[in-house]
Homo-oligomer: A and B are copies of this chain.
């Protein structure tokens, strides 16, 4: 597959959906020169949004990170996260006064609480008094003791039948140049298999994530799906999800798809991006 310059690709679209990790940032911080891309998009009047499988923080907190790094373009309203889908789900479904038990950090739960819902970390659940616990959320891999709290989760979900939401479907995430960490999606997969139930999952490649971003874009302007470019570094989430939703897709080689492996990964996976670019930087 021939590599195209990102400028030559992006100029033909009216809006761009960006994946965050591997596209705009990496383990060291912002990808150098990425601000040029947003200067270009602003100048051309092309809309842009960030789609992220992240339920560990609120859109406000996610945006603050970009602001602090000096990328002023990424504001709260530009961010669409799988955590927002989980929050929206609970807002509609949880009865008044009831609570959502969760695995994750206090921060990850705080976001759900902003709409008036009660949350309770699994560690604090009383297994003998579950009347108020109406649902369960896998929010983050941090903030709890895996040995104790995963076992307690298994037994909680065996004791009371409730809907379980996985707010981030990723199975791992990078923590340094070479190292990765188990993501909450993997912990959820393990618990689901042990108890034999069916969880609800939010996050790319699922269509609901793309729908969330599309609905946000429609608030800004009238546009059809084929006027949108999805930009990502991962075939299995960004590209196949974008393709299926009817978007054009650009695979960038600045993240977990290495340049020397791109062609072999495309042909072995059968996931074919519309374009391949070295990075999302408009040079």
Contact = CB atoms under 8 A, between A and B. Distances in A.
A225 interface: yes
A151 B93 CA distance: 34
Interface in A206-237: 206-208, 211, 225-226, 235-236
B182 A272 contact: no
A197 to B, nearest CB: 3
Closest 3 CB pairs of A and B: A197-B270, A146-B146, A207-B208
B200 A240 contact: yes
A264 B199 CA distance: 17
Interface in A82-121: 88-89, 92-93
B208 A161 contact: no
B182 A155 contact: no
15 contacts: A88-B246, A89-B244, A93-B243, A146-B147, A161-B266, A162-B270, A163-B272, A189-B193, A197-B270, A199-B270, A207-B207, A207-B211, A208-B244, A208-B245, A211-B211
Nearest to A146: B146
Contacts of A146: 145-147, 150
- Classify the secondary structure of A's interface with B: helix
A130 interface: no
A45 interface: no
B236 A198 contact: yes
Nearest to A190: B190
A208 B162 CA distance: 25
Interface residues of A, number: 58
A172 B154 contact: yes
Interface in A156-188: 157-159, 161-164, 171-172, 178-182, 186-187
Contacts of A243: 93, 163, 200
A22 to B, nearest CB: 17
A226 B89 CA distance: 11
Contacts of A181: 151, 154
A22 B171 CA distance: 34
A235 B158 CA distance: 19
A43 interface: no
Interface string A50-71: 0000000000000000000000
A267 B200 contact: no
Interface in A247-283: 266-272
